[in-house]
Homo-oligomer: A and B are copies of this chain.
Amino acid sequence: MSGAEITIGALSEQTGVNIETVRYYERIGLIPPAHRSAGGRRVFDADDVRRLSFIRRARQLGFSTDEIRSLLDVAKGARACKDAHALAVKHRDAVRASIRDLRRLERTLTEAADRCSKGVSPGCAIVEALSH
């Protein structure tokens, strides 16, 4: 069922997650302790690839490791789907707030940079903008 065994290097390549990061995830308990070969090396299988890919996508969406723990619980049925929904909505709202903040910020930076390049302001427009 679980198919071929792969090394940490192969796991890293197949999922796009850094080797050091895989070991880090194991250390903080985001993934279970890997089985070991006779020589003491970590051995992974297709389930591990799926789990790690899941984690990677969740990280790309900006979920924290603690939130991912909850999402993994939902994925394996140990927690209700509505918890995942709540997390996603909460996270989406945070993202929306970030976007609003960044838009304001972008305007401010653009204004300062434009005035500067036009040489309108007496001193440096960037510095001026930061001084009041």
Question: Which residues of chain A have a CB within 8 Å of any CB of chain B?
Answer: 50, 54, 57-58, 61-62, 71, 74-75, 81, 84-85, 87-89, 91-92, 95-96, 98-99, 102-103, 105-106, 108-110, 112-113, 116-117, 123-127, 130-131
Contact = CB atoms under 8 A, between A and B. Distances in A.
A95 B106 contact: yes
Contact of A95 (B62, B91, B109): B109
Contact of A84 (B88, B91, B105, B127): B127
Contacts of A127: 71, 74-75, 81, 84
**Can you tell how many copies of this chain the complex includes?**
2
**Which of A87, A91, A99, A123: most chain B Cβ within 10 A?**
A99
Report, nearest first, the 10 A-B pairs whose CB atoms are least far apart.
A81-B124, A92-B109, A84-B126, A88-B113, A85-B116, A75-B127, A95-B106, A57-B130, A99-B102, A88-B126
